[in-house]
């Protein structure tokens, strides 16, 4: 153990006291006190070594001191020893090995023991600084994190004055460290958030000690930036708030990116105006607003005329530039609260809001048409461009957004059909009529398909002999719910449609079948059928008629007559003449129906190759009374004779009419006075009765007017 310097003389009492104090100091010290030889052998070590390094002093005596030092630092230890001997004292820090293999940070101060000018040894004082070093390291790390983090950190005291910020915070806010200290973070407020926002933020911090959310602040240059901010309250042991720490990350880029995504989702990439998605949002809002303000809005569906040729001949790049230009022109023409959106291609939709009356939008529409039709010389000279616009007006058309758009689209189609470069306003009442018409046409078509149509036949007799000379086929519809319908109920809506032709062809077919049936039963009679002008003038009328006739080779030619309305035959006389001529070649006869209502001129009558004139039944009514009608009928009969035509009087009801016509020289009569139109099955019996009546020299039954 400790070998004290040998004394030449026995120690006196003061010396004993000193040594005692010295010993006790060593033994009670928390530091390790040790003595090593100049070459580094441990000669003495205090008992405190056990608490720090785990070894007992005995285990260490006479061992090289360097063995206790971390291998990485042994070179330093040797150098330290040399230093020490040279300078007399030194201070070092080493990692020293604990008996259990771990290392402790020990700060060692050394001092030479010199005796007679010779270094006899070195006294070492080792202090365990492991905890302090760890704390220091932690602090250093924290400081490093504080300084190097990308997040802005701001620490305030309990009343909110800034006491520390890091570089990132300065960078984000644009204020220097010095400018921020002592200030309240309020200096960064942008006004983007309202008082309620901050109130709820502080409420959350007050109750949970914590808040996180998105905040828009303003930097020193006045620019807004978005940050994700977390605020935490720091409490002391008495649970009082001492500080607030705000950690914020700049999310401006993120927000910009978000905005960009938003743009892509809601705006047309080419023109930058709203796309279909945004339009549908805006429309819903606009409908609500219009209802609230009790005014009107116009939904305008705009389609460019002549855009496709631009794309096709000048290329898509020019096409794109034209679309951008048009979008801008529209935007400059409408008001701030109005919307223009691109649906794709050359189709745009414009919402005009706040109209007091429906017609109010006409001015804007006229302006739109003219700005679009204005030359676009800087893109390509001589571009022919215009627009067709269809408009639906809410709440005149009280529908949802989709339907309003569809109606505007329909109206746009009408604008195109009626010559382009114009607008057309959708009329809900008209549309209702059109829809009814569509439905009617559908049910007529299905009636035809289900064989609900039937031809009734009305006899025509020779007024002189009273013999049956022919029958007129008159169409009827055996409607499953409404019963027997006359042609006036279903032919007008069919006029000029494909169904008109289909019905006409069915009439021809069934009349021919009937002719054949009657012929087989021994009834030789002429059937006249009514053919519409649209059917007569339709393509391949004559060829189709021929092929229908060809299906009945047994029929003698000359038994089919076609009645065309005088009014309709007026349309295109040369074409009608050609068709009639062609039909006559295959033995068809022609009658001009309802004559006297169409104001035909004499020259017209002379040029039409017809066989029969049918005097319109309206002249019959007053035949007994009105002098005027008398003269007209007489005139028609004379005219007919002059052109070598047969004359048929329609609507013959009374004996007076019968006699008058006979006197006037009319050949043939047809009317309720002779017989009502009847189903085919009844005609044979009627013909039989008529023959019997003739034999008995009876007059047809007289009917009182
Ligand atoms: P229309 O060709 O002038 O036929 C004569 C119309 O007068 C028939 O009416 C007939 O029932 C009616 N009528 C006959 N005698 C009298 C009479 O004494 N008094 C009165 N008040 N009326 C009489 P319906 O059958 O209702 O036909 C009306 C019109 O419909 C026809 O006039 C014809 O233009 C057209 N029509 C009839 N069937 C067809 C058809 O199969 N195809 C085409 N395209 N039109 C047809
Ligand atoms: Mg007729
Ligand atoms: Mg007629």
DSSP letter string, 613-629: EEE-GGGTTTSSS-HHH
pLDDT of res. 383: 78
Q: Are 299 and 411 in contact (CB under 8 A)?
A: no
Length of the chain: 705
Q: Is it the case that residue 9 has pLDDT exceeding 90?
A: no
What was the pLDDT predicted at 404? 96
pLDDT for position 625: 64
Contact at 8 Å (CB) between 502 and 486? no
Q: For residue 691, what pLDDT is reported? A: 87
- Least confident residue range of 139-153, 195-209, 236-250, 426-440: 426-440
Note the ligand closest to the C-alpha atom of 510.
1
Distance CA 384, CA 305 (A): 8
What value does the mean pLDDT take over residues 253-260? 88
Ligand 1: centre distance to CA 493 (Å): 16
Query: What is the CA(170)–ligand 2 centre distance, in A?
Result: 99
Please name the residue that has the structure tokens 């933020």.
201
Instruction: State which ligand 1 atom lies nearest to the alpha carbon of 670.
Output: 15
Q: Is the pLDDT of residue 702 over 60?
A: no
Query: In which residue are the tokens 């053919």 written?
Result: 531
Q: How far is the CA of 470 from the centre of ligand 1 (A)?
A: 15
Average confidence (pLDDT) over 695-702:
57
Tokens at residue 343, please?
Answer: 């649906």
Q: Say which range, 360-364, 592-596, 664-668, 699-703, has the weakest mean pLDDT.
A: 699-703
Binding pocket residue ranges, ligand 1, CB within 6 Å: 458, 474-475, 486-488, 491, 507, 530-532, 563, 593-594, 617, 650-653, 671-672, 677
Task: Compute, in angstroms, the gap from residue 646 CA to the centroid of ligand 2.
Answer: 15
C-alpha–C-alpha distance, residues 525 and 458, integer Å: 12
Mutational test site, ligand 1, from 456, 473, 487, 510, max ligand atoms within 8 Å of CB: 487
Nearest CA to ligand 1 atom 38: 474
Q: What CATH class does 2-129 carry?
A: alpha beta
CB 438 within 8 A of CB 446: no
CA gap 506, 454 in Å, rounded: 10
Q: Whose CA is nearest to atom 17 of ligand 1?
A: 651
Residue having the nearest C-alpha atom to atom 28 of ligand 1 = 487
Domain with CATH 3.30.70.270 in the chain: 273-428
**Ligand 1 atom at minimum distance from 653 CA:** 18
Write the residue with the smallest CA distance to atom 37 of ligand 1: 474
For the chain, give every residue range classified as CATH 3.30.450.20. 2-129, 149-255
Q: Which of 319-328, 358-367, 537-546 is the least confident region?
A: 358-367
Task: Compute the distance from residue 597 Cα to the ligand 1 centre, in Å.
Answer: 15
Share of the chain above pLDDT 90, in %: 66
Q: Is the pLDDT of residue 604 over 80?
A: no
CATH 1.10.580.10 is right for the domain spanning 149-255:
no
Of 93, 90, 127, give the one whose Cα is nearest residue 112. Answer: 90
596 alpha carbon, closest ligand:
3
Most confident of 260-274, 472-486, 618-632: 472-486
pLDDT of residue 39: 84
Ligand with an atom nearest the CA of residue 505? 1
Sole residue written with tokens 């066989």: 611
- Average pLDDT, stretch 360-379? 89
Q: Tens digits of per-residue pLDDT, 32-76?
A: 999 999 888 999 999 999 999 999 999 999 999 888 999 999 888
> Any residues with CB less than 8 A from the CB of 60 and at least 6 apart, and which?
42, 45, 49, 68
Vertex 379: Cα angle to 378 and 381 (nearest 5):
75
**Gap between the Cα atoms of 681 and 521, Å rounded:** 11
How large is the average pLDDT for residues 622-650? 84
CB atoms under 10 Å from CB of 41, counted, come to 15
Q: Probe ligand 1: pick from 496, 532, 621, 650, max atoms within 8 Å of CB?
A: 650
Taking the centre of ligand 3 as the mean of its atom positions, its distance from the CA of residue 590, in whole angstroms, is 13
Name the residue of 448, 458, 530 to mutate for ligand 1: max ligand atoms within 8 A of Cβ. 530
Residue 27 confidence (pLDDT) above 70: yes
Q: In whole angstroms, what separates CA 440 from the centre of its chain? A: 34
Distance 470 CA to ligand 2 centre (A): 12
pLDDT score of 11 more than 70: no
From the CA of 672, give the closest atom in ligand 1. Answer: 18
Alpha-helical runs (H) found in 565-646: 566-569, 573-585, 602-607, 627-642
- Quote the CA–CA distance of 202 and 185 in Å, as a whole number: 13
Residue 394 CB neighbour total at 10 angstroms: 26
Q: 656 alpha carbon to ligand 2 midpoint, in Å?
A: 23
**Which ligand approaches the C-alpha of residue 652 most closely?**
1
Residue labelled with tokens 């012929």: 519
- 458, 677 in Cβ contact below 8 A? yes
- Lowest mean pLDDT of 25-34, 455-464, 477-486, 679-688, name the range: 25-34
Q: Which of 474, 504, 595 gets mutated to test ligand 1 (max ligand atoms within 8 A of its CB)?
A: 474
Q: 328 CA distance to ligand 3 centroid (A)?
A: 61
CA 375 vs CA 329, 332, 372, 382, 415: distances in Å: 12, 16, 8, 7, 21
Shortest-distance ligand to the CA of residue 460: 1
Do residues 57 and 45 touch, judged by C-beta distance below 8 A?
yes
For the chain, give the mean pLDDT: 89
CA atoms within 13 A on the CB side of 523: 26
Cβ proximity of 650 and 670 under 8 Å = yes
- Spell out the alpha helix ranges (H) of 156-302: 167-173, 177-180, 195-208, 252-266, 276-293
Distance 435 CA to ligand 2 centre (A): 30
Q: Judge whether 272 and 327 are in contact, CB under 8 Å.
A: yes
At 380 the three-state DSSP class reads coil
Q: Please say if the pLDDT value at position 2 is more than 70.
A: no
Phi/psi of residue 601, each to 5°?
A: -90, 165
- Categorize the per-residue pLDDT at 4 as very low, low, confident or very high, splitting at 50, 70 and 90: very low
Q: In this predicted structure, what is the pLDDT of residue 147?
A: 87
Whose CA is closest to atom 21 on ligand 1?
651
SS3 537: coil
Minimal-distance CA residue to ligand 1 atom 25? 474
Question: What mean pLDDT is predicted for residues 272-281?
Answer: 95
Closest by Cα among 461, 307, 436 to 383: 307
In angstroms, the CA 244 to CA 535 distance is: 92
Taking the CA of residue 399 as centre, how many other CA atoms within 13 Å lie in the half-sphere pointing to its CB?
Answer: 16
What pLDDT is attached to residue 704? 43
Cα-to-centroid distance, 561 and ligand 3 (Å): 14
Q: Which ligand is nearest to the CA of 500?
A: 1
* 700 has pLDDT over 70: no
Atom 34 of ligand 1: nearest residue by CA position = 530
Residue 8 has pLDDT above 60, yes or no: no
pLDDT in tens, 490-515: 999 898 899 999 999 999 999 999 99
Residue having the nearest C-alpha atom to atom 29 of ligand 1: 487
For residues 598 and 570, the answer to whether their CB atoms sit within 8 Å is yes
Distance 519 CA to ligand 1 centre (A): 24
Residue 520 pLDDT level (bands cut at 50, 70, 90): very high
> Which residue's CA is the closest to the ligand 1 atom numbered 30?
487
Atom of ligand 1 nearest to the CA of 487: 30
DSSP E strands: which ranges in 436-467?
453-462
Phi, psi of 205 (to 5 degrees): -65, -40
Other C-beta atoms closer than 10 Å to the C-beta of 577 total 15
> 438 C-alpha vs ligand 3 centroid, how far in Å?
28
HEC per residue, 83-146? HHHHHCEEEEEEEEECCCCCEEEEEEEEEEEEECCEEEEEEEEEEECHHHHHHHHHHHHHHHHH
* Structural tokens at position 265: 């989702």
CA distance 657 to 651: 9
> pTM, whole model, 2 decimals?
0.52
| CATH class belonging to 436-689 | alpha beta
Least confident of 60-64, 193-197, 357-361, 400-404: 357-361
For residue 619, which of 603, 636, 602, 606 has the smallest C-alpha distance? 636
Residue nearest to atom 8 of ligand 1 (CA): 474
- The DSSP letter of residue 188 is G
Q: Which ligand is nearest to the CA of 651?
A: 1
The CATH T-level fold of domain 273-428 is: Alpha-Beta Plaits (3.30.70)
Question: Cis omega before residue 278 (within 30°)?
Answer: no
Closest CA to 398 of 480, 243, 290, 307: 290
591: CA distance to ligand 3 center in Å? 10
**Which residues partner with 224 through β-bridges?**
218
Give the separation between CA 82 and CA 78, rounded to whole angstroms: 6
């Amino acid at each position: 153990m400790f070998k004290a310097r040998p004394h030449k003389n026995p120690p006196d009492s003061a010396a004993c006291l000193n040594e005692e104090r010295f010993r006790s100091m060593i033994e009670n010290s928390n530091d390790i006190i040790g003595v090593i030889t100049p070459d580094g052998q441990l000669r003495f070590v205090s008992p405190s070594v056990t608490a720090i390094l785990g070894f007992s002093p005995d285990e260490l005596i006479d061992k090289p001191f360097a063995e206790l030092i971390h291998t990485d630092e042994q070179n330093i230890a040797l150098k330290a020893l040399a230093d020490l001997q040279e300078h007399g004292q030194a201070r070092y820090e080493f990692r020293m090995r604990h008996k259990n293999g771990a290392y402790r940070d020990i700060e060692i101060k050394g001092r030479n023991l010199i005796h007679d000018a010779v270094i006899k040894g070195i006294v070492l004082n080792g202090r365990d600084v492991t905890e302090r070093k760890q704390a220091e390291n932690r602090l250093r790390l924290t400081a490093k994190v504080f300084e190097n983090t990308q997040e802005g950190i701001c620490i305030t005291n309990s009343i909110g004055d800034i006491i520390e910020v890091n570089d990132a915070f300065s960078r984000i806010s644009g204020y220097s460290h010095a400018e921020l200290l002592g200030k309240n973070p309020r200096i960064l407020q942008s006004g983007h958030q309202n008082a309620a926002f901050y109130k709820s933020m502080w409420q959350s911090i007050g109750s949970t000690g914590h808040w996180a959310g998105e905040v828009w602040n303003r930097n020193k240059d006045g620019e807004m930036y978005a940050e994700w901010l977390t605020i935490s309250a720091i409490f002391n042991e008495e649970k009082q708030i001492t500080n607030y720490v705000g950690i914020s990350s700049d999310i401006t880029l993120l927000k910009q990116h978000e905005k960009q995504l938003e743009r892509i989702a809601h705006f047309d990439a080419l023109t930058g105006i709203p796309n279909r998605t945004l339009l549908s949002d805006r429309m819903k809002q606009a409908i609500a607003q219009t209802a609230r303000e009790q005014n009107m809005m116009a939904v305008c569906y705009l389609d460019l005329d002549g855009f496709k040729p631009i794309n096709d001949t000048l290329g898509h790049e020019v096409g794109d530039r034209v679309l951008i230009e048009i979008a801008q022109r529209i935007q400059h023409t409408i008001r701030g609260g109005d919307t223009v959106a691109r649906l794709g291609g050359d189709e745009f939709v414009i919402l005009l809001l706040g109209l007091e009356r429906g017609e109010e939008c006409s001015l804007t529409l006229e302006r739109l048409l003219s700005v679009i039709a204005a030359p676009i010389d800087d893109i390509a000279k001589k571009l022919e461009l215009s627009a067709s616009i269809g408009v639906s007006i809410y709440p005149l058309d009280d529908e949802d957004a989709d339907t309003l758009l569809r109606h505007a689209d329909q109206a746009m189609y009408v604008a195109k059909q009626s010559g382009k470069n114009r607008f057309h306003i959708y009329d809900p009442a008209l549309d209702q009529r059109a829809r009814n018409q569509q439905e009617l046409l559908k049910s007529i078509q299905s009636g035809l398909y289900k064989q609900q149509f039937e031809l009734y036949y009305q006899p025509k007799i020779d007024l002189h002999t009273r013999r049956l000379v022919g029958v007129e086929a008159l169409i009827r519809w055996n409607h499953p719910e409404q019963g027997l319908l006359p042609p006036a109920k279903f032919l007008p809506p069919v006029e000029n449609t494909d169904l008109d032709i289909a019905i006409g062809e069915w009439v021809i077919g069934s009349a021919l079948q009937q002719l054949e049936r009657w012929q087989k039963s021994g009834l030789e009679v002429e059937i006249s059928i009514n053919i519409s002008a649209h059917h007569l003038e339709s393509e391949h009328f004559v060829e189709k008629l021929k092929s229908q006739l060809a299906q009945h080779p047994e029929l003698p030619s000359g038994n089919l007559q076609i009645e065309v309305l005088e009014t309709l035959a007026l349309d295109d006389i040369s074409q009608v003449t050609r068709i009639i001529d062609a039909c006559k070649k295959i033995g068809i006869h022609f009658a001009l129906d309802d004559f006297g209502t169409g104001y035909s001129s004499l020259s017209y009558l002379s040029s039409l190759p017809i066989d029969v004139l049918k005097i319109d039944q309206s002249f019959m009514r007053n035949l007994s009374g009105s002098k005027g009608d008398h003269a007209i009928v007489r005139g028609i009969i004379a005219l007919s004779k002059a052109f070598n035509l047969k004359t048929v009087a329609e609507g013959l009801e009374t004996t007076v009419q019968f006699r008058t016509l006979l006197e006037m020289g009319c050949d043939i009569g047809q009317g309720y006075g002779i017989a009502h139109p009847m189903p085919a099955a009844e005609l044979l019996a009627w013909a039989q009765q008529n023959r019997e009546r003739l034999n008995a020299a009876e007059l047809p039954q007289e009917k009182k007017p």
